[in-house]
Structure 1
Amino acid sequence: MLTSKLKAILGQVLFTVNVFVLFLVLAESQVLIPDWLHVFGRLHPLLLHFPIVIILFAISLVAIPELLKKKEDSHTYGTDLLLIGALTAGFTVIAGLLLSHETGYVKEALFWHKWTGLGVFWGSSLLYYFIDSQKHLVIKIAASFLALIVILSGHLGASITHGENFITAPIENKDVVVVSLEEAEVFPHLIYPIIENKCLSCHKASKQKGELRMDTPENLLKGGESGPAVEPFDLENSLMSHRINLPEDNEDHMPPEGKPQLTEEEISILDAWISSGAITDKKVLALSDTSSIYKLAVEKFAAAPKVYEFDAVSNEKLEGLNNFYRKIQPLGIESPALSVSYFGRANFDPASLAELSEVNVQTVSINLNNMPVKDEDLASLSSFPNLEKLYLNFTDIKGQGLQALVGLENLSLLSLSGSNLTDEAVEPLSKLKNVKKLFLWNTGLSKESLEKIMTALPQTTIEIGTEEKSTLLMLNPPVIRFDKAFFKDKLEVKLTHPIGTTSIYYTLDGTEPDSSNFKLYEKPLQIKENVTIKARAFAEGWIGSSVSEAEFISATISPSSYEMIFLPEDRYKGDGEKSLFDKKKAIPDVWNLNWLGFLNNPLEIEMEFEAPTDISSMAISLWQNLGSRFFPPQEVEIWTRPNTGQDWKLSKSFRPKALQKEDDSFLRQVQIPYAEKGVQYLKIIAKPLEKLPSWHSSSGKKAYLMVDEIVLN
């Protein structure tokens, strides 16, 4: 129980707080809040729980004095608690008013929460000042009304912080809808649930941190004050991907510390979705079954998979059928169903289709896009009883051979876009009654022929595209095919394109192909030195493609044995020390398994050569990305020793040039100025940057050293 003197002091403080709150409300648009007061404003979510509990407890004692044995005690304790509750509510309201000056909140939602919060504070203050009134019924009614305002204000605040109807959601959404793979749509069923659970508490209609809303695809593309959250097909420039892939101790990492974090599976799904074009209007099964987002989606909806009654094929048999031009893989984890994809038009052999007879029962999808498949080659597909999807885009099929598909009862999708069909295709296509989707875009069929097929297949969705010829489409970039980007003696590189009539132009000096410097690709290239190939595709009636690029690096020396002294960080541990000499070039993707990331320990690798070796050049292949804190090493030390058991001797110490704020992010080689003859034992120590520079957003923190390969010549 509070003493009379203390109650008097607290009563005066309460009056002062009321005056200050009134000032903040009346002068809201004219008040300039200093930074140190914003710190107090952000304590609002921490402060609000205390007055809510105290006021509700005080109201209970005031409205129902029978709770205690003596009614006088109920009144005394209730009055004291109401004073404390009103006072703490005042400080909470002050913090809330200060917090409301920050951006990211929708005015309408904030308006009602602010005024109900003020109602709690002013209502509890008035109730305290008039609680000794003899009008007991009025006091009870006022206390009950105050309790309703407390609950309403709490509900509105929870809705701003956690989402609409946060309190009532458990009783409103009792039924969990389970979506099967066949029904699943890419955005609403695969992408949005992740965003809803991990992002919307700060990025929804009622609360837009950084002016960013993430509740619709349109808002994701629009972005916030820092730009678009999603750039289709462009992971590196998609802000959402960049933020979720930052180390958790980075202040820009999302979701922020204290919020539920994304799982690795969720990050992979979001990244794959962006890489595949941020698709929003398709079902999962409408995606190419060779895309990464399709595979992840199949695994995600594995709880309701399509059940196949046939047995799975052994891994040994699959390995025997897979090669450089054909890939056979299961549709999903523990699924016996297989998808088949072919690559490289020049390597296609029609006889290879007959080899699939070993897995004809398990094969449900075949992708022959851009292959020189002819009508007579389709005969071998008639023995695939469970074939559901067949992709024959840009092939040499004319139409007569489609008769072989008529007996495939499970065929539900057939795509022939870009294949020059004749009228011979009309009859067999008209018999495919079980096909649900038929793609006939740009097939050369006459309007009359297309109408005949549509009349014969009224239940089939037939896509014929547009007859407009004035709009030119851009070609896909050419594909640069090679074994490994790091090579010892020489390397063969092929340039391919799915459309056979395309011409491919390339350069070897790192410049982009244009009318003054290009070479026409005619046969595989023999690479014998460090080069960067850039290539573009051109064809009549198309817009030239964007540039494909690949860097090839000579690495003629490899140690006979090596040992890495310190392990990399768990998140970037690649294939361990093998990643440093596997001749596999990493890509700018944090999930690529060729990266080794070092933060708290240096890269320290000890090597032994079979015989004394002359080293003329040395480089460390790494990833430089300022936003992700991927920096070159602070210092590189080269140590040698003549024999095992003898002490290491420092041969070279080198500090790479420090990065500047305007430097680009890219994959690069840090050349180490080192040359020495007769080296048999070699040790490299590359130390991560201890403190990021003052211009960096995470200045003072450690930087990651992201290493791909050690290059020795």
Structure 2
Amino acid sequence: MSTLSVFLFSLVDFVGSFHPLLVHLPIGVLLLAALFQFLSQKEKYQSLASAVGISLFIGMLSAIASCISGYLLSGTGDYDEGLIFNHQWSGIALAIISIVAWYLNWKGKQITWITALMVFLIVLTGHFGGSITHGSDYLKRAFLAEASGQAEEKRKPIPNVQQAMAYQDVIKPILTSKCYKCHGPNKQKGKLRLDMPDFILKGGKGGKAIIAGNTDESELIKRILLSKESDDHMPPLEQPQLTKTELDLIHWWVSSGADFNKKVADLAQTEKIKPVLLSLQSEEKAEAALISDIPEKTVGQADAKIVQELLARGVAVIPVALNSNYLSVNFVALDSITAKDLQLLEQLSKQVIWLKIGDSNLDDNNLKSIVKLSSLTRLSIEKTAVSDAGIALLNGLPKL
């Protein structure tokens, strides 16, 4: 691809990205113009008649700009085509009607039904836009949440989790509540759709969302584990984040083969995942389940400066549970691990109990730093240069 083509594509993306900002301008200005026009018919407010024309003119221009930027944004392919079609053509109709309304006003004419049609199109276009960003049932969901007094639907307990379908009953509800807003039927950010098995297996622009049996190469898990400050972290920082239990369940499902048709009982289960699965049978939050490898003994908070340095390097550092000072550290986003990284890690020896440092340049020599993490209860070092002799060093970790 030539430099010019790259520049043009970048320009299209740049201009299109302004649509969410521009789209609110014609809504406000055209509604204001309609209000001015209505009030100016009363003798008391006739002075507002002069403001109608300028309001319609600004609203008309902003509606046209919104149409252009919206068309460019739709080319990214991140949104449902049906909803895009409705929103696009209602927006174009609104722009045309705003031009007609401005022209008639310029000629000194006021046609009430034109103004009424303009207001109707504002509402209709806004509704279609809301369906794109929040889902086609956003009004119904908002009403139900208000009626029930709950902002988020509570997950129903599973009567017998071992007989439940692993994907349908355990994994899909997590994806529905935490992923569908950006990767569902109405919007496919990065061309990734997670609401149906075929789409999940297909992946998106970033590659395969899941690779059965390989959590290290599954893009979905890698993105979830990234620092929340990272632009690639999933879900976005402003959206509800996955809980520790939800992440454990997705990790377990992928590592067990990511089968869409098997029951929970048919998939391999470690001793660590069993209590997490069992907690799904209770109405209590899964985080309350007993996780055997989290020490009961409390520990002081980690040095915030050290944690920030690791985060700045791209290392994922998160608490293992709510209100816990114990940490889970994941080096999945790093291409190579440096001596400085290991030195920082050593300073968190009391807090780090889960460490994932596989698929890296780790070897027997720098494994000596890992041995100093005396609180470790989980360690993942697959796809490294660590030899059997290096593995023997880990015998000095009593809790591993």
With the length of structure 1 as denominator, give the TM-score of the two structures: 0.39
Instruction: Describe the superposition over 1:81-139 as per-residue Cα deviations: whole angstroms up to 9, x where unpaired.
Output: 22222222222222212222323334333222222222222221221111256764xx2
Contact 1:33 1:98 in 2 (8 A): no
2:362 and 2:341 mapped to 1: Cα distance? 19
Aligned with 2:235 (options 228, 237, 255): 255
Offset at residue 295 of structure 1 (A): 2.7
Aligned with 1:144 (options 105, 112, 116): 116
Offset at residue 245 of structure 1 (A): 0.5
Q: Does 1:158 align with 2:130?
A: yes
Q: Does 1:197 align with 2:174?
A: no
- 2:104 maps to which residue? 130
- 1:269 maps to which residue? 249
Aligned with 2:27 (options 52, 77, 80): 52
1:292 and 1:218 mapped to 2: Cα distance? 30
Structure that is richer in helix per residue: 2
Structure that is richer in strand per residue: 1
Q: Taking CA–CA contacts closer than 8 Å with sequence separation of 6 or more, which of the two structures ends up with the larger relative contact order?
A: 2
Contact 2:216 2:359 in 1 (8 A): no
2:41 and 2:365 mapped to 1: Cα distance? 76
Q: Does 1:81 align with 2:55?
A: yes
- 1:221 maps to which residue? 201
The 5 Å alignment of 1:399-418 reads: none
More deviation, 85-94/253-262: 253-262
C-alpha RMSD of the superposition: 4.4
Report the residue type matching 2:218 in the other structure: S
Q: Percent identity?
A: 28
1:104 and 1:287 mapped to 2: Cα distance? 34
- 2:295 maps to which residue? none
Gaps of 5+ in 1: 1-29, 306-331, 335-564, 574-588, 598-622, 638-662, 674-683, 685-707
Contact 1:572 1:595 in 2 (8 A): no
Q: Kindly tell me: are residues 283 and 73 of structure 1, through their superposed partners in 2, closer, same or farther at Cα, counting changes over 3 Å?
A: farther
- 1:169 maps to which residue? 141
- 2:338 maps to which residue? 632
Aligned with 1:108 (options 68, 74, 82): 82
Instruction: Describe the superposition over 1:11-52 as per-residue Cα deviations: whole angstroms up to 9, x where unpaired.
Output: xxxxxxxxxxxxxxxxxxx9x935245223212112212221
- 3-state SS in 2 of match to 1:201: helix
Contact 1:181 1:298 in 2 (8 A): no
Offset at residue 238 of structure 1 (A): 1.2
The 5 Å alignment of 1:385-424 reads: none
Report the residue type matching 2:176 in the other structure: E
Q: Kindly tell me: are residues 234 and 73 of structure 1, through their superposed partners in 2, closer, same or farther at Cα, counting changes over 3 Å?
A: same
Offset at residue 596 of structure 1 (A): 7.7
Report the residue type matching 1:151 in the other structure: V
Q: Kindly tell me: are residues 127 and 219 of structure 1, through their superposed partners in 2, closer, same or farther at Cα, counting changes over 3 Å?
A: same
- 1:373 maps to which residue? none
1:300 and 1:710 mapped to 2: Cα distance? 35
Offset at residue 151 of structure 1 (A): 1.6
Report the residue type matching 1:569 in the other structure: V
Report the residue type matching 1:114 in the other structure: Q
Instruction: Describe the superposition over 1:143-197 as per-residue Cα deviations: whole angstroms up to 9, x where unpaired.
Output: 1112222122222222222222323433467676863321765434432233223
1:287 and 1:250 mapped to 2: Cα distance? 33
Q: Kindly tell me: are residues 165 and 635 of structure 1, through their superposed partners in 2, closer, same or farther at Cα, counting changes over 3 Å?
A: closer
2:319 and 2:217 mapped to 1: Cα distance? 14
Report the residue type matching 2:119 in the other structure: A
1:276 and 1:71 mapped to 2: Cα distance? 71
Q: Kindly tell me: are residues 590 and 241 of structure 1, through their superposed partners in 2, closer, same or farther at Cα, counting changes over 3 Å?
A: farther
Contact 2:337 2:362 in 1 (8 A): no
Report the residue type matching 1:73 in the other structure: S
Offset at residue 710 of structure 1 (A): 12
The 5 Å alignment of 1:634-673 reads: 665=360, 667-670=362-365
